[in-house]
Amino acid sequence: MLVKIPEKVFDEVISKLKAKVYEYNSKIKEFGVYLKPYHLVYKNGKKYVYIGKYWYRLEKINGKLKWIYLGKSKPIESMPDPPSIPDYTIIVDNDGWYVVDKKILDELKGD
């Protein structure tokens, strides 16, 4: 079920989810690939937020760091499995409220 939450609640949710990704990325540093902590997409006047959904490697090109997209699945099988992050899209509606699946809130209550 989708529910609307205010920005303050969203900030708490996003902080917990990103912390899981940052902790995981520090464990897999030796593999040279990363689970992107969050990805924003703007489409049709809405903002979509994806947490820990896409794999990248960082590459230095012309002195700048670039995220090189590797896909949605774990790129190296020998790596530890990524953290359990709900695979839900978070939408920011036109009124500034965050629309999330209630399962995200339920899963994070124990953290």
User: How confident is the model over 21-59, as pLDDT tens digits?
Assistant: 999 999 999 999 999 988 888 888 778 888 899 999 999
Amino acid in the structure at residue 71: G
For the chain, what is the total number of helices (H) and then of strands (E)? 2, 8
83: tokens are 């953290």
Contacts of 43 (CB under 8 A, 6+ apart): none
Domain boundaries defined on the chain: 2-108
- Residue 107, pLDDT > 80, answer no
Can you give the pTM of this predicted structure?
Answer: 0.80
User: How confident is the model over 58-100, as pLDDT tens digits?
Assistant: 999 999 999 899 999 999 999 999 988 777 778 887 777 888 8
Q: What's the CA gap between 68 and 37, in Å, rounded?
A: 14
Amino acid in the structure at residue 30: E
